[in-house]
Amino acid sequence: MSQLVPNKVVYEPDSLPLPSRYTRTRFPATEGESTEISNIHIPPLRNSYLNCKDSFLTFSVTASLEGTLLPKTDATTGVDSQQNNVLLDPSGACSFIRSITILQNNSTIQHIDNYSKVHSMLQTAEANVSSSGIRSILSGSSYYTAADGSGKQGTNGGLLMSGIPVTHIATATGTDGTSVDFQQMTFCLPIVGLLSSANIPLCMLKEGLTIRVNWSPDVRNSFYCRHDEALVTQATITGIGSQTFANVSFDSGVSTLDDASQLAVEQENNYKTEPIQWTGNDYYAGIRNTTAAELTTATTVEHILGGFTFTSTKNILYGTFCKPLGDFNAPNVSHIVHNKIRYRVNGVETPRNFIDTLAKMVQHTAVTTGGNSQSVASGLMCRDYTNINFRPLTGLASSTAGTFTDRGVCGVCLNSFPAQDAISGVDTRGGDIAVQLETSSVASTVNMDTFFVGVFDVIYMIEDGVMKLSF
């Protein structure tokens, strides 16, 4: 035994951390105000590293809406009325964003289109009650109250899953109820993708990075109306309205090393002789129009997911959204409208059997959330108000139907078990992905948009001062 166990222990001191300075830095947009696009430039700072894990996008927005029974103030008496008729979408500030693009010297590194839908589905799939908290206040994605909409206090954990009345966070200016201007509202929200958790060596870039935010032009993508039980008091939003974005900036931590520390880092990691590489996740959203006839009739359809041609496709998330019509259906909340889902990946059925119950959908979705993104931490699927076979509200009879948004996502993981949290997934470049969907006979009169979000592993690389993305 004495030959196997050493009779003395040799201690060696650990290396001391390299001297550095950590600061919070705000990178403002080059445009003072914008209605379409905002560009944020991040320069290649000397000896500096961009810590994206605790970063967020900040912006302020003013909105002008047209419709009926909108918030108003009597010009004579000064009395406010109809103040709670317009709500901010339950997904929060992400609903204002159409796409986000990361560029270097006008060359695209990463582009996430339909960003609001991607962000909404991720926050529905990954978050829970305890992770909502203060971040939901900053991003505007949750609304808490002691009532559940039916007059009973304190039920269902006190969680109301409808949107926030806009007048709770902004002053409404209007006198006739047909048009209203909402004064400046300010939000902070983390960004998924490259800017969610990477530690980017800005000092190794020849040119800086540009964050390009394309804003949604239609107010109905972000605002909807409170559900009422009487037609004469039901508000509506008509037209695309207008939105102006200001005070746009990207706030992140920046670590700055002294010259000696920077030299030690370069030597240890061979920055001068080898490319800098790290891994991450990227997202691609495909869309399919789900017709009212399909929702009303019990049918089975198969749809080819175009564009899912990646080396390592890890997960696929499914969710269906109401179209932005300015009525009482939240436009940016994901729902489950089909009762059976299965994929065929490169000719192999995944999973082998249909996902045909809500319990199975929850189980499969839980598997996909292990390595998606740390940036989304507000929102949740509600135990009592997440159902399959959702249909958009079309009547005014129910007092609670519009209160709980019935959000839900169905995810499928394509990784094999040993490959979790690694560069893995299925190579779909030479094949295709088809989805099989089945609906039940539940009446519907409006079409919906079904989104399929592909989550895939990517490798980011900096070589000769140029950042690239490999997928």
| 301-316 average pLDDT score | 87
341 pLDDT exceeds 80? yes
DSSP string, 145-199: -SB-SSS-BTGGGGEE-SPEEGGGTS-EE-SSSSEEEEEEEEEEE---STTTT-E
Query: Hey, what are 107's tokens?
Result: 């060359």
* pLDDT for res 80: 84
Looking at residue 256, its pLDDT comes to 93
Predicted confidence (pLDDT) per residue in 176-214, tens digit: 889 999 999 999 888 888 887 788 999 999 999 999 999
Q: Report how far residue 42's alpha carbon sits from residue 39's, in angstroms, rounded to the nearest whole number.
A: 10
pLDDT in tens, 95-124: 999 999 999 999 999 999 999 999 888 887
Confidence of residue 264 (pLDDT cuts 50, 70, 90): confident
Q: Angle CA(343)–CA(354)–CA(434) in degrees, nearest 5?
A: 15
Per-residue model confidence as pLDDT tens digits over 11-33: 677 666 777 888 999 999 998 89
Q: How far apart are CA 439 and CA 311, in angstroms?
A: 32
> pTM of the predicted model, to two decimals?
0.86
pLDDT on residue 129: 45
The H-or-E segment that residue 132 falls in is helix 129-139
Task: State how far the alpha carbon of 364 is from the alpha carbons of 60, 63, 413, in Å.
Answer: 37, 39, 7
Looking at residue 38, its pLDDT comes to: 96
What tokens appear for 304 in the block?
A: 């080819």
Instruction: Give me the pLDDT at residue 234, please.
Output: 85
Expressed in angstroms, the distance from the first to the final Cα of the chain is: 52
Long-range contacts, 78-82 (Cβ 8 Å, 24+): 80/172, 81/177, 82/177, 82/235
358 exposure class (CB count in 10 Å sphere: 0-12, 13-18, 19+): middle
pLDDT at 4: 55
pLDDT at 403 over 60: no
- Is the per-residue pLDDT at 340 higher than 80? yes
Predicted confidence (pLDDT) at residue 375 exceeds the cutoff of 50: no
Average pLDDT along the chain: 82
pLDDT for 53: 82
C-alpha to C-alpha distances, 22 to 50, 251, 374, 425, nearest whole angstrom: 10, 13, 21, 36
- 412-470: per-residue pLDDT in tens? 988 765 444 556 778 888 788 899 999 988 888 889 999 999 988 888 999 999 999 88
Contact criterion met (CB below 8 Å) for 52 and 195: yes
